[in-house]
Amino acid sequence: MTQAISRISGTGSALPTRLVENLEVAQLLGKDPSYIFRVSGIRTRHWVEAHENCSSLAEQASRQALGQSGLTPNDLDAIIVSTTSPDMPFPSTACLLQARLGVVGIPAFDCSASCSGFLYGLSMADCFLRAGQFQRCLVVASEVKSRTLDREDLSTAILFGDGAGAVILERATNSDLGVMSIRIHSDGQHHDLVKVSAGGSRQSLSQAVLDNRSHTLRIQGSKLFRIAIRQLRQAILKHVEEEKWDVSDLDQVIFHQANARMITHLCRTLGVSSDRCVAIMEDLGNTSSASLPMALDFANRHNRLKKGSRILLGAFGGGLTWGTALVRWG
């Protein structure tokens, strides 16, 4: 009996209309624009306008992915949205997206795994398809980080942008092409390294919270960088070995676009040349969980992914969470 597998049949992405250059951010922080690029590798990012939100970006990216797949929303069996910046606490952004797409009856839900969320969502969809429960899943990561930024905080204001990325995952029977395997991990002992501490049931919004800006995003960047490099590199090497691949076999490596230094360091220590590494953060900044599917969509639409290409996806984020996926494109 042929073993079922899942394959990515379409990708899409979306950005807010407003382009924010380093000069604008530098003026908020009292820094020189060249400093921002030097420490982050970012020149521009996009921030939402008043009429844009997580679900509107998700809809744009989803319709692109559906169009590339030759499908309509009614062809979907499930919708999974990764976000830590939803339209509202509930209902889920996935349900809001479902309404925007005009689909009724299929399951729609969110997952929250910070910057690793897309791989968490992809893993769930992959399991649904392999088990035969569904035939086609829409997996979206959509983030609006600009609305939780303290724009006077140097460690976060220079980094984050808004955007959405989406894929259509379909059940297939050609085991030579598709998502070979996904590995996801977490370590809650380090939950304080990236967080928005207020606005939930532990500490609800109040004037004191607003005055202290504890409803905004905070990062302990140096410590997070060290742990991320170590854990993700180990996870990549172990996963590649389990799949009986070698790092030298990888045609394209696509990481969460956290910062340029992290991507460069990972590629150097893994022995991956720059022409095999997809990098889009110079123009888009860190879009949290959306960055991985957006980078995948960029690679796809710029013909960097050929049939049979061996692709590594890797991400690391708050929680702490991290994950890897190995894909044979086609």
Q: Which of 176, 205, 227 is the last residue of a domain?
A: 176
Q: Which of 156, 176, 196 is the last residue of a domain?
A: 176
Position with higher pLDDT, 151 vs 140: 140
How far apart, in Å, are the Cα atoms of 66 and each of 137, 142, 172? 11, 16, 17
First vs last C-alpha separation in the chain: 22
Token look-up 């959405």 returns 164
Q: Which residues of 317-328 are buried (b: 16+ CB within 10 A; e: fewer)?
A: bbbbbbbbbbbb
How far apart, in Å, are the Cα atoms of 134 and each of 6, 65, 100, 125, 137? 11, 18, 21, 9, 7
* Same domain assignment for residues 203 and 284: yes
pLDDT band for position 299 (cuts 50, 70, 90): very high
Do the beta carbons of residue 262 and residue 225 sit within 8 Å? yes
Token look-up 């092409």 returns 177
Count: domains in the chain: 2
- Separation of alpha carbons 153 and 31, rounded Å: 12
* Same domain assignment for residues 171 and 186: no
- Per-residue pLDDT tens over the stretch 125-144: 999 999 999 999 999 999 99
Query: Domain range holding 25?
Result: 5-176
pLDDT at 2: 64
- Per-residue pLDDT tens over the stretch 33-60: 999 999 999 999 999 999 999 999 999 9
pLDDT band for position 62 (cuts 50, 70, 90): very high
pLDDT at 222: 84
Which residues are designated catalytic? 115, 256, 286
